Amino acid sequence: MEILKVENLCKVYGTGEARVQALKQVSFSMERGEFGAVVGVSGSGKSTLLNCIGGLDEANAGKVFLGGKDLFAMGEEERTIFRRQNIGFIFQSFHLIPELDVEQNIAFPLLLDYKKPDQERVDELLEVLGLTDRRKHLPGQLSGGQQQRVAIGRALITHPALVLADEPTGNLDSKSSQDVMDLLCRASRHYQQTVLMITHNMNLTASADRVFRVTDGKLCELGGAA
């Protein structure tokens, strides 16, 4: 079942001599439960692609369909709500709320929509993330790897159709990086969620079903990971 469809996506920054074409006619699609990795050098357009797919940035041309719905046909408020309910974001910086404990940080996206968290779902995520004994800890009491696991839990709590991860292991050591990759794989396989991850580290693409490379704003598929 096709979850994500990107058609002829173009993004331009600046004008005149400062004009930069960050994305050039990017098209691809992903099925439910697929794990895709996007690689490329710094400044190639990887983060711009993820931001446009997630509706954080608006493309100059092209379309992004998630579950058959066109993100850019929505008004800004409608897109914000749709994004919160259907897309999970994981960034290099954890963006946790320092005054909230682990459990509250994970449940936060639901609270924004005035929804009561399903305690069984929260407990399951805490177990999967290896954070059950840290549930009442504040972010400042956790290691970097643990904080990133909380961020992953927050991204998964709404059962999003799509999880977008931008360099999710960038601030972590090799052991924590592998733990994060294992968790993203589990989200893809166990929860049948589509995951698209940006990384500059080719070693981290080994778990991906498909690997894409962005070069000068153009996307090509390298195939499955070796």
Beta strand 35-39 with 194-198: parallel, antiparallel or unpaired?
parallel
Rounded CA-CA distance 216/41 in Å is 9
Residue 24 lies in a domain: no
Supply the range of the domain harboring residue 89: 31-58+75-223
Name 88's Cβ contacts closer than 8 Å, sequence gap at least 6: 154, 155, 156, 158, 160, 162, 163, 164, 193
Residue 148 lies in a domain: yes
pLDDT category of residue 48 using cuts at 50, 70 and 90: very high
Q: What single DSSP character describes residue 141? A: G
C-beta of residue 152 within 8 angstroms of C-beta of residue 128: no
Residue 3 lies in a domain: no
Q: Model confidence over 53-73: pLDDT tens digits?
A: 999 998 999 999 999 999 999
Residue 216 lies in a domain: yes
Q: Model confidence over 83-121: pLDDT tens digits?
A: 988 999 998 888 899 999 999 999 999 988 888 888 998
Whole-number percent of the chain with pLDDT over 90: 58
pLDDT value at residue 226: 42
Instruction: Tokens 């994500």: give the residue.
Output: 4
CATH at residue 50: 3.40.50.300
Helix (DSSP H) and strand (DSSP E) numbers for the chain: 6, 10
**Looking at the 3D structure of the chain, how many domains does it have?**
1
Residue 64 lies in a domain: no
Residue 23 lies in a domain: no
Whole-number percent of the chain with pLDDT over 70: 98
| Mean pLDDT computed over every residue of the chain | 90
pLDDT category of residue 181 using cuts at 50, 70 and 90: confident
pLDDT category of residue 155 using cuts at 50, 70 and 90: very high
pLDDT category of residue 223 using cuts at 50, 70 and 90: low
Residue 14 lies in a domain: no
Rg of the chain, C-alpha, whole Å: 17
Residue 38 lies in a domain: yes
CA dihedral (184, 185, 191, 196) positive or negative: positive
Q: In terms of Cα–Cα distance, which of 53, 47, 37 is closest to 3?
A: 53
